Amino acid sequence: MIDESIGPLSTNFPDQTFPFPPVGEQQQRYLLKGLQGAKNTERAYRADLNHYRRWCQENYLDPLPATPILLGQYCSYLAPIKKWATIARRLAAIGKWHELHGHDSPLMDRWLKATLKGIQREHGTHVNQSAAFQAKQLKLALLDLPTERNGVPRFTQIRDKVALLLGFTGAFRRSELVALNVQNILFSEDGVVISYYGSKTNQTGQLEEKALFYSSELAICPVRTLKRWVNLLDRQTGPLLVRVRKSNELTEERLTAQSIGVIVKTYLGDHFSAHSLRASFVTTAKLNGADDSEIMQQTKHKTTAMIRRYTRLDSIKQHNAAKKLEW
């Protein structure tokens, strides 16, 4: 049986050796980090490779190096049961695995490309995206969220409110949310600036900042809610979003990224996910007249194409140029 905990993509697989060039130990470390990519991507690739290797084992095939014919067979097996996005990601993992072990990638083969094009045409490439909620849905959920009991702050509810408000108004990814620290929050008369280092599209750890502003409605104001939470934490450093014990006792244990999804589903419904916070920000801002450059300032997207991808306009009548025709 294949070991599910095969470690980083760059470590030795069974009977495989990473082909380092003749360089020093420190350069090897930098080289390895440059090849690995984002941790979340590596985790997904690791699971994909386990599936691929298991399939090869069951069919008595050698997984590395893979021939284009072998990969065509593997993708043909996946096509009726998996979405195109899954197939594409598994191919990317296999390509990375070949790169890490010094083999040429078989993904450029023209016959394999033709096979993949046939899969796309027959099964489609539609991606089910995270649903976006309307701003008023979030507002109603927050207004119904009790943050005190008999004058005593309810830490779980206040923390969840902070997570929802920051996730929406700051267009944060869930990994970015849980990585926020108290020392990187700067309040001012205008609002608050939140700093963080590194993200999915910023793998070199450059400083990024997001600004949040006061709302006229106190119950849904992200700045006032965040300020109250920071005061309750009563410390100058450490994680912002932390676990709360059942006894209503704060800890300094950072929430996991999966916790954000649970929070969203708890207050907004199972139809939504952590990614809905970010998608809802883009959609709401777009419907309210924000241009792409303004949205990208908050989302940190690099291209306007990604803004279009994130915009969820469920009704054909929304944001439709036909409404602006004058005859």
What pairing do the DSSP bridges indicate for beta strands 242-245 and 191-199? Answer: unpaired
By mean pLDDT, which of 23-37, 200-214, 215-229, 303-317 is the weakest? 303-317
Dihedral through CA 295, CA 301, CA 302, CA 307, nearest 10? -60
Question: Are 74 and 182 within one domain?
Answer: no
Most confident of 135-139, 174-178, 228-232, 271-275: 228-232
Considering 68, 98, 123, which residue would you say is the last residue of a domain? 123
Residue 4 has pLDDT above 50, yes or no: no
Question: Are 170 and 116 within one domain?
Answer: no
Handedness of CA 210, 185, 154, 179 (dihedral sign): positive
Residue 197 has pLDDT above 60, yes or no: yes
Average pLDDT over residues 122-151: 83
Any idea what the CATH number is for the domain that residue 185 is in?
1.10.443.10
Predicted pLDDT at 12: 38
Return the structure tokens found at 326: 């004058």
Most confident of 102-111, 193-202, 249-258: 249-258
Does a structural domain hold residue 104? yes
Strands (E), the chain: 148-149, 152-153, 185-187, 191-199, 202-213, 242-245, 249-254
Does a structural domain hold residue 261? yes
Average pLDDT over residues 4-10: 41
Question: Are 192 and 218 within one domain?
Answer: yes
Any idea what the CATH number is for the domain that residue 108 is in?
1.10.150.130
**Which amino acid is located at 12 in the chain?**
N
Does a structural domain hold residue 324? no
| CA–CA distance, 87 with 100 (Å, rounded to integer) | 20
Does a structural domain hold residue 5? no
Question: Are 229 and 161 within one domain?
Answer: yes
Domain coverage including residue 213:
135-310
Does a structural domain hold residue 4? no
Does a structural domain hold residue 253? yes
Return the structure tokens found at 48: 């994909």
Question: Are 75 and 145 within one domain?
Answer: no
Number of structural domains in the chain: 2
Predicted pLDDT at 101: 80
Question: Are 142 and 194 within one domain?
Answer: yes
Dihedral through CA 140, CA 141, CA 144, CA 145, nearest 10? -150
By mean pLDDT, which of 63-67, 96-100, 155-159 is the weakest? 96-100
Arithmetic mean of pLDDT over the chain = 81
For 239, which DSSP code? B
Does a structural domain hold residue 321? no
Predicted pLDDT at 13: 37
Question: Are 56 and 156 within one domain?
Answer: no
Does a structural domain hold residue 250? yes
**Strand-pair partners of 187:** 192
Residue 47 has pLDDT above 80, yes or no: yes
